[in-house]
Amino acid sequence: MSRATELSSGRILPMLVEMASMEWIDRRAREVFAAPWPLARMALVGASPVDEVVAGFYTARHTPTCPTRFFTSVDKAMTWLTEE
């Protein structure tokens, strides 16, 4: 996330998170993603029902500070992220 912050140069941008290759989320990663980040929107993209459950748990437990949605398609996620 520090690299994303650096690349954004202070701008509030959308973020796409691909969950498909994720096998485990360690405690530090959970803490980082639970922290408030200056994001316009966050799209969580996964391929399985398990990914959707993990995304649902994340959004229910941490109440994201920006609009956050789960998608099974990167194209649909990108469309949503770039909407005005």
pLDDT in tens, 14-72: 989 898 766 667 788 767 767 777 889 999 999 988 888 888 888 888 778 889 999 99
Q: Which two tokens stand for residue 61?
A: 């437990």
The structure's pTM equals: 0.79
CA distance 66 to 81: 11
Q: Which domains does the chain have, with CATH numbers?
A: 2-81 (3.40.970.30)
Type of residue numbered 66: C
Sheet order of strands, 39-45 included: 13-18, 39-45, 68-71
Nearest to 83 by CA among 33, 40, 49, 47: 40
CB 80 within 8 A of CB 69: yes
